Amino acid sequence: MDYGLSDPAGGYPKRSAQYRAIKILLAGGFGVGKTTLVGAVSEIRPLRTEEPLTEDSFRADRTAGVEGKTTTTVAMDFGRISLRSDLVLYLFGTPGQQRFWFMWDELAIGALGAVVLADTRRLADSFPAIDYFERREIPFIVALNCFDGARRYDAEDVRTALDLEPDLPIILCDARSRDSAKHVLITLVEHVLETASEEPVSGIA
Amino acid sequence: MPSHDERWLDAEAGPVVRPYALTGGRTRHAGESFDLVATVTATRAFADLAALAPEHVSVLRLARARTTVADIASEVDLPLGVVRIILADLRELGLVAIRTPVVMAERIDKHTLREVLNGLRAL
């Protein structure tokens, strides 16, 4: 059936259950497997942003000779997981480098938490993302993507290298595997639940 | 019955959106800001499609079923910033309603977290 935009007969959702859209962030350096992980667990779709360049991003980009450039296009990994018709997870994967923080600031508002995807061969790439989430008190976990041929590090060695709190989950994953990607998200939600229970309950039960 | 003032305002105001000028050079939209996962729903207001730019019509069509800002941007393959301005235009015209999901407004409660956990485990 085809209906016009002004036709009140179809297409309007009923006012029933409250629709809940929940954001989960995925940060990591280039080539660490963010796109692969999002694609393993959800239907991945392209999402572009075109953002005005701030002075900071100008400096970081060193756009000497391209002074006319005032916006930058950033591709995000965007995945959607419908848990129920009224409960949907939105995964946003963006580069973790400091010059992309202007995007993180918006993505982080109200987010459930974050996954820092790291490659043990380039651990330093995950420093900025970890700094960011720690500073803003956004709950996060670290997932080590196990690339073929990469030496398997002990999670505790990584904890020491990244200077992470003892109770912060660090897990190994295979970003290509749906089950493994699911496990990463489950670990994050469990961690957020545990963190939440440590806080005093406000109001009257 | 609506007053004559209200009735005439819409007709006299002329096209709010310039055809084919996607954002008219604007990089910031008018009105209250909205989140990436704010829900967008077309209202029942009559839309004069001929007065809208094609991109505005595309966005409006997508909003016939409840959707989100990010879903629309991904679907029409336009940068998020442009889609935001289009949505704000449509909101000013009274053609779409944009609501921030209740979860965004406060901390995600434990009940919701458990629902998410169960949902993920059942995938």
- Give residue A31's pLDDT: 85
Residues of A (78-117) whose Cβ lies below 8 Å from B:
78, 80-81, 83-84, 87, 89-90, 92, 106-107, 109-110, 112
Q: Which residues of B touch A196 (CB under 8 A)?
A: 107, 110, 113
Q: ipTM of the predicted structure?
A: 0.78
Chain B: residue whose CA lies nearest to A182 = B120
- Give residue A163's pLDDT: 92
Look up residue A140 and give its amino acid. Answer: F
Q: Which residues of A touch B107 (CB under 8 A)?
A: 196
Inter-chain contact A5–B102, Cβ cutoff 8 Å? no
- Give residue A107's pLDDT: 87
Strand A20-28 relative to strand A113-118, pairing: parallel
- Give residue A65's pLDDT: 44
- CA-to-CA distance for A170 and A142, rounded, in angstroms? 5
Specify the DSSP class assigned to residue B66. -
Inter-chain contact A193–B110, Cβ cutoff 8 Å? yes
Residue spans of alpha helices (H) in chain A: 34-41, 55-61, 101-107, 127-135, 155-162, 178-197
Percent of chain B whose pLDDT exceeds 90: 50
B60 CB near a chain A CB, below 8 Å? yes
**Which segments in chain B show pLDDT lower than 70?**
1-22, 24-25, 27, 102-106
Asked whether A40 and A181 are in contact (CB, 8 A), the reply is yes
- CA-to-CA distance for B35 and A137, rounded, in angstroms? 20
B67 CB near a chain A CB, below 8 Å? no
Block mean pLDDT (10 aa), chain A, length 205 = 40 56 90 92 83 52 48 81 93 81 83 93 89 92 83 83 94 94 97 77 43
The pTM assigned to this predicted structure is 0.78
Asked whether B82 and A50 are in contact (CB, 8 A), the reply is yes
Percent of chain A whose pLDDT exceeds 70: 73
Inter-chain contact B66–A52, Cβ cutoff 8 Å? no
- Give residue A62's pLDDT: 45
Q: Which residues of B touch A90 (CB under 8 A)?
A: 36-37, 68, 70
| DSSP conformation letters of A100-121 | GHHHHHHHTTT--EEEEEE-GG
**Pick from A22, A107, A189: CB nearest B103:** A22
Inter-chain contact B120–A109, Cβ cutoff 8 Å? no
Strand partners, A152: none
CA distance to A68, A154, B6, B7, per residue, from B2 (Å): 50, 71, 7, 7
- Give residue A94's pLDDT: 82
Look up residue B71 and give its amino acid. Answer: D
**Pick from A19, A89, A182: CB nearest B39:** A19
**Pick from A73, A87, A92: CB nearest B115:** A87
- Give residue B10's pLDDT: 44
B86 CB near a chain A CB, below 8 Å? no
